[in-house]
């Protein structure tokens, strides 16, 4: 599965911050069953590399699984060793981007300014994560898209909810990273599955309304 295929099917990245290995597969299956096929386990979760390895094995061929909050090249190496397919960061670090690509993974670094966006693309980023999205309105997205290469995929992360999805989609974003509206420690797979399904329905409704 490619990044374009996953985003075309459903432009949501499930951010599973705080995920425990004992629940990883059940939560992952619930998310994928709802229609989301990009899953991120932030590295400030308990034993994240074990969770990534379990999800990558269980969801092989059905989802792209990787890590978030990746801040060092050493962490990028460990994601690759765990079988991860993507590396997501809150910042733009060209060294991490280049190591991610050297390890054959997808790179989705975070940025907030045009300078960071162009630096990330020059280092080889596959898509850009605008973070935190609370600091950038849909009007900012339109301004960025006017200067970035046309094929650039922009995802927004931070404060994304069913209510904020339509205006961002209309502005031309390629996807959304959604965390606490989807998963928080203590929520079981059934609860997460229902939340995932509601978010998927909101995205589909917004896409249909924009046609």
Residues annotated as catalytic are: 40, 129
Q: Which of 36, 169, 35, 143 is nearest to 156 (CA)?
A: 169
Cis? peptide before 5, omega within 30° of 0: no
| Cα–Cα distance for residue pair 142/187, rounded to 1 Å | 36
Q: How many CB atoms lie within 10 A of CB 149?
A: 9
| Cα–Cα distance for residue pair 27/195, rounded to 1 Å | 12
Give the C-alpha distances (Å, rounded to integers) separating 61 from 11, 38, 52, 57, 179.
17, 11, 15, 9, 23
């Amino acid at each position: 599965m490619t990044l374009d295929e996953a985003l075309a099917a459903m432009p949501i990245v499930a951010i599973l911050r705080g995920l425990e290995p004992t629940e990883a597969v059940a939560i992952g299956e619930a998310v994928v069953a709802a229609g989301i096929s990009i899953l991120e386990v932030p590295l400030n979760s308990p034993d994240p590399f074990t969770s990534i390895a379990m999800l990558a094995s269980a969801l092989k061929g059905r989802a792209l699984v990787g890590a978030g909050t990746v801040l060092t090249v050493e962490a990028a190496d460990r994601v690759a060793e765990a079988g991860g397919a993507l590396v997501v960061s809150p910042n733009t670090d060209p060294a991490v981007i280049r190591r991610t690509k050297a390890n054959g993974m997808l790179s989705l670094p975070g940025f907030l300014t045009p300078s960071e966006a162009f630096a990330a693309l020059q280092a080889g980023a596959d898509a850009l994560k605008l973070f935190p999205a609370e600091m950038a309105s849909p009007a900012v997205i339109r301004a960025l898209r006017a200067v970035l290469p046309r094929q650039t995929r922009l995802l927004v992360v931070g404060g994304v909810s069913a209510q904020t999805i339509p205006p961002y989609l209309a502005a031309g974003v390629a996807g959304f990273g959604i965390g606490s509206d989807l998963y928080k420690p203590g929520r079981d797979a059934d609860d997460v599955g229902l939340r995932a399904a509601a978010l998927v329905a909101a995205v589909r409704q917004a896409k249909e309304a924009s046609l």
